[in-house]
Structure 1
Amino acid sequence: MEDIEDLLVASGGGGAIPGFRVPVAAAVGVNHKLTKKNKISGSISNATSRNSSKIPGTQTIYMKTFGCSHNQSDSEYMAGQLSAFGYNLCENEDEADLWLLNTCTVKSPSQSAMQTLIAKCKSAKKPLVVAGCVPQGSRDLKDLDGVSIVGVQQIDRVVEVVEETLKGHEVRLLTRKTLPALDLPKVRKNKFVEILPINVGCLGACTYCKTKHARGHLGSYTVDSLMGRVRTVVADGVREIWLSSEDTGAYGRDIGVSLPILLNSFVSELPPDGSTMLRIGMTNPPYILEHLKEIAEVLRHPCVYSFLHVPVQSGSDSILRAMNREYTVSEFRTVVDTLIELVPGMQIATDVICGFPGETDEDFEQTINLIKEYKFPQVHISQFYPRPGTPAARMKKVPSNVVKKRSRELTAIFESFTPYVGMEGKIERIWITDVATDGTHLVGHTKGYIQVLVVGPGSMLGSSAIVKITSVGRWSVFGDVIEILTGQAHSRENLGNRDSKCSNENETTCCSKDSETTCACEWTSRFGQKEEGTVSVSKNERKPGSENLFGWLLRKRKKNFQKETENEVVLEFEEKQRINEWAFVDYALLGVMLTSLLTAVAICLYLGFSDLSYK
């Protein structure tokens, strides 16, 4: 099929205003699905008449998302538009009238999972729309035959594509020269987390990457448009803003600005009570080297998580050259060392590809040594997958058994690290935004984005709290809530004469270094001072009937609560403790029984000897 945009140009049709329906002829070009007979005569398939009785906007849609946070944001935007037009979204594929799959092309397994779902959908004879990087980067993929397609920059027209697909038409929407608007309707997977794409595409040309084929060259949103989105989501009650892109560090190089300029603009808009936090997304080393000190300054800001995802991919310079990564291991070290030195509590995550073509045992050993040296708390380990159409796919491959062996070895080394040991007893501020998979704990994060599991009701979601770390596991830590930060500090209207923005250190406001005024977003460094807008549940305020009844009940509950967690290490440790405790009781009972038995035997023997003596 021809690209839909080519059909529009040929017909002279104009584009649709995002979020509004327009007549089909002006909005999308379509190919009607034809039988062999109809193909000859050129008539329209009966599929249209079969579905014409259904009113657009009344059907149910099943959505499935693969891949990165950028894909997740795209899905949320598509879900928002579909919901705005009346479509129902469901999680049960069997109940849906149409399936919408948002795909990822980074790794072979995710694409294989997509292909399985496509086959299942076709088998169930369900209308299907495929979005994301796979159709954008592999337009001629056989699995996409007869399937409607939405390109990565066409998400603002998903309603049109869905409507035409439900009518029995096959629609392909791929080509575009402008970015989708940021103010489209959106249904967030987590209402407290906004995933904000700041740019699409990248400036790199990694030999293994298929995403560049889909997302293309760098395209950045303007600072003003992004600032407008931040103001909107903060007003909506969002508590975390995740900046997302294929390379955050490259932001703005196509429009004459830089990442530090954007970040400083963002923090100037964040609430001064620290109720909304900013998380900077993945950035490759080449584009932050020249801005390291400025980025470190932003990461120190009380309203910004001290966390950064910086992929290294290999500890060998020769492999990095083969990957065309445009930096050396030494430069990666410079990034990590500088941030750790300048940002207290800095946490860095990284990525490693095992078994890249040409990787020798010596190359892999260098990667192992790098990971051992830094003991990163998060390492995303992947086996090399040759992606069709990439230069690396034509390189001589490392045997698959060797690739798997290296992946297992590096994983074992990484899992042997204990990054959170020593945190027991520490006081931390956390931001609570989710429920753990065990359905019991709430998930919060420290300023260093360390996951903290706490016990509490769902009403605590979206709040910030002061916690004491009680125990640590391999992947997260556990904490007891000391104080819930709420009330006046969460409302700008109640801030009195405070400046309405978290400022940088050059301004004298509640959040600046030179200010004598205490700001709620400085709890990390000023813990111990009573902050305006906080509710205390300290030892002297645990009586029921006071304003801290919730805190008192929470503390009483957790004393008798048997902790559950996904962390196998913690489960095993606690299970052993419980076993040992019951074993002691058993041994004590057994001792009493043996003592009683021996006493009885002794009495019998004594009586027996007494009888013999008497005789």
Structure 2
Amino acid sequence: MEDIEDLLVGSGGGVPPGFRLPITAVGLNPKKNKNKNKPNPNGNSNKLSQIQDPLAPLSPKIPGTQTIYIKTFGCSHNQSDSEYMAGQLSAFGYPLSDNPEEADLWLINTCTVKSPSQSAMDTLIAKGKGAKKPLVVAGCVPQGSRDIKELEGVSIVGVQQIDRVVEIVEETLKGHEVRLLSRKTLPALDLPKVRKNKFVEILPINVGCLGACTYCKTKHARGHLGSYTVDGLVGRVKSVIADGVKEIWLSSEDTGAYGRDIGANLPILLNAIVAELPSDASTMLRIGMTNPPFILEHLKEIAEVLRHPCVYSFLHVPVQSGSDAVLTAMNREYTVSEFKTVVDILTELVPGMQIATDIICGFPGETDEDFTQTLSLIKLYKFPQVHISQFYPRPGTPAARMKKVPSTVVKRRSRDLTSVFEAFTPYVGMEGRVERIWITEVATDGIHLVGHTKGYVQVLVAAPESMLGTSAIVKITSVGRWSVFGEVIETIPHINDTVSGNERPKQEKKFPGLNHYETSACSTKSENCCCGPESCGGQSEKCAVTKNDVQLEDRNSRNLIGWLLRKRKNHVEKHVEKPVENEIGLGSQKKQEQTQGSLREWGVVDRALLGGMLVSFLTIVTLLLHLGFRILSSN
């Protein structure tokens, strides 16, 4: 089927982003009519029947009342697109559900980077067709491979047409097949949005890229570089901060290439955004995946931004191979030496800097010597996070026509590299450290909350969900392979929360931690996007106390009374916590009695502090009385 454009001249002009156009403005393909080639009585071509008759019978259900199920594959940019589509559907009254069975329509946002992702999409589409569900397919697969058989009979929305999802859903529910794949201006940033995590804003800063990697299918879908303006992005940042967002993730197919099509660059954007972040570091910025060629000339400027208290000292820089010969075959436009320059300079200039990277095993033409060089690179830097992928030939790419490495060799190399990576112990030495973390989600175990340090080390804390969206000072109690565990010492009040009257309740109870339980809120499997996946977390073998933590400690140490009160509070809490941990099976009444009994206990330190305070008080009173008598006697 050919792409269907708007059928009314001028229908796109003067329409605000996200506005639902009349149904006659949507390209429609009704169910096939067996008599489609017969002329109608008026002698006009039956092609005009593609426009919906406004007098046609209405759908059994009122538009805007059907339930929508949204499934997203791929990178954070795809996730952001899904959140924008969910926001528009929700704004027009469509209920959203995580249960596909109860939904009236399925919206599937797809990824074309790897075969497993597209295979999962194919399976889901087949399941939806089998269940007689109306289907809308979005994302990179239909945009880059519109003619594949799996997309027959389903509606399609292109990557630059997500602001028209409401129209497409409405027409699909009426039984029409709608396809909107034309490229146009970028979707507006101020569209309604339903975030998967209300504390995290995924902010697309550009679409497409400037590269031409021989294995990459994503560029076929996302196209050439198209950047949002600095003013537009800064305006979005201001808006989401006002909404209570605590983390902003900059996302794109290549963050480092930002602005080269509009006369700007990444450092200009980063400095403009950082200037709008709250001074109390209540909202943090995370810079997205960046390929080496486009940040080499800006390393010092980017390092300065990464040192900022409101920016995570973390960056995802894909290398893909440790062999220059393989990088040339991939058309990656940099050498291993240049990649090392990026890593070395950022690590030198940014305290606690963490870098994640990607490796493709078994690229066509990769020799054992090439793979050995890759192993050596990973061993040299001991990256805390490495996304390891086997090569998947994508139809239509130059690499798909290259001579392939035998699959048994590819799998063996993938296993060998995984074994090397998993042998690293990046968290040794962190136990006992005090860190500031930002808490934004619940861990997959359903017990811990997930926070991240300035270096984006994942910290799991046993704490109430009321702490989501806050930052806290924690002590690292134990370390695992993928995460570290921490105990909350104190929460940090945020200026914005206090001013708005939404100050969060302080933690009143310490929850016993399950330090033997190793879990990760992020999956160890990742979906690559273009030249690498958006990282879901970074870990560190070096993790220093941040500048903000040091300032907080210095400020608190000046207040003697506050220090004494906190010491007394910590002393009591330790006595309170032990019975709860040791007698976890006791009834609530017994635990309450033990807690009250602990509060009545006074130790030697307590008596000494109380005695000192009484002596000081009596001394002051005596001095005042003495001075008073002398003044009276002199008169």
What TM-score do the two structures reach when normalised by structure 2? 0.79
Partner SS for 1:101: strand
Cα distance in 2, alignment partners of residues 302 and 554 from structure 1: 33
Matching residue of 2:551? 526
User: Could you tell me which amino acid in structure 1 is paired with residue 372 of structure 2?
Assistant: E
Equivalent residues, number? 527
Matching residue of 2:211? 204
Unaligned runs of 5+ in 1: 495-519, 563-615
User: Could you tell me which amino acid in structure 2 is paired with residue 437 of structure 1?
Assistant: T
What is the correspondence of 1:77-476 to structure 2 with a 5 Å cutoff? 77-476=84-483
Cα distance in 1, alignment partners of residues 312 and 207 from structure 2: 23
Of 50, 67, 70, which aligns to 2:77? 70
Matching residue of 2:536? none
Cα distance in 2, alignment partners of residues 245 and 370 from structure 1: 26
**Contact 1:272–1:521 under 8 Å retained in 2:** no
Partner SS for 1:175: coil
**Contact 1:455–1:558 under 8 Å retained in 2:** no
Q: 1:556 to 1:342 in 2, by over 3 A?
A: farther
Q: 1:141 to 1:466 in 2, by over 3 A?
A: same
Of 540, 545, 563, which aligns to 2:568? 540
**Contact 1:354–1:403 under 8 Å retained in 2:** yes
**Contact 1:465–1:483 under 8 Å retained in 2:** yes
**Contact 1:153–1:179 under 8 Å retained in 2:** yes
User: Could you tell me which amino acid in structure 1 is paired with residue 407 of structure 2?
Assistant: S
Cα distance in 1, alignment partners of residues 141 and 480 from structure 2: 37
Matching residue of 1:52? 59
Matching residue of 1:8? 7
**Contact 1:8–1:14 under 8 Å retained in 2:** no
Q: 1:391 to 1:456 in 2, by over 3 A?
A: same
Partner SS for 1:414: helix
Cα distance in 2, alignment partners of residues 419 and 471 from structure 1: 13
**Contact 1:275–1:490 under 8 Å retained in 2:** no
**Contact 1:207–1:392 under 8 Å retained in 2:** yes
Matching residue of 2:30? 32
Q: 1:39 to 1:101 in 2, by over 3 A?
A: farther
Cα distance in 1, alignment partners of residues 584 and 179 from structure 2: 54
Q: 1:114 to 1:20 in 2, by over 3 A?
A: same
What TM-score do the two structures reach when normalised by structure 1? 0.81
Compute the displacement of 1:553 (Å).
Answer: 7.0
CA deviations over 1:482-517 (Å, ceiling 9, x no partner): 1100154744689xxxxxxxxxxxxxxxxxxxxxxx
**Contact 1:271–1:492 under 8 Å retained in 2:** no
Q: 1:259 to 1:409 in 2, by over 3 A?
A: same
Compute the displacement of 1:540 (Å).
Answer: 2.1
Q: 1:556 to 1:286 in 2, by over 3 A?
A: farther
Partner SS for 1:8: coil
**Contact 2:282–2:494 under 8 Å retained in 1:** no
Cα distance in 1, alignment partners of residues 480 and 374 from structure 2: 25
CA deviations over 1:319-352 (Å, ceiling 9, x no partner): 0000000000000000000000000000000000
Cα distance in 2, alignment partners of residues 531 and 3 from structure 1: 65
User: Could you tell me which amino acid in structure 1 is paired with residue 3 of structure 2?
Assistant: D
Compute the displacement of 1:530 (Å).
Answer: 3.4
Q: 1:556 to 1:386 in 2, by over 3 A?
A: farther
**Contact 1:424–1:471 under 8 Å retained in 2:** yes
Unaligned runs of 5+ in 2: 40-45, 502-544, 586-635
User: Could you tell me which amino acid in structure 2 is paired with residue 34 of structure 1?
Assistant: K
Cα-Cα RMSD: 2.6
Partner SS for 2:249: strand
**Contact 2:110–2:138 under 8 Å retained in 1:** yes
Compute the displacement of 1:552 (Å).
Answer: 9.1
Q: 1:157 to 1:555 in 2, by over 3 A?
A: farther
User: Could you tell me which amino acid in structure 2 is paired with residue 21 of structure 1?
Assistant: R
Of stretches 366-375 and 34-43 in structure 1, the one that deviates more from structure 2 is 34-43
**Contact 2:280–2:494 under 8 Å retained in 1:** no
Do structure 1's residue 18 and structure 2's residue 46 form an aligned pair? no
Cα distance in 2, alignment partners of residues 327 and 478 from structure 1: 38
Partner SS for 1:31: coil
Of stretches 172-181 and 217-226 in structure 1, the one that deviates more from structure 2 is 172-181
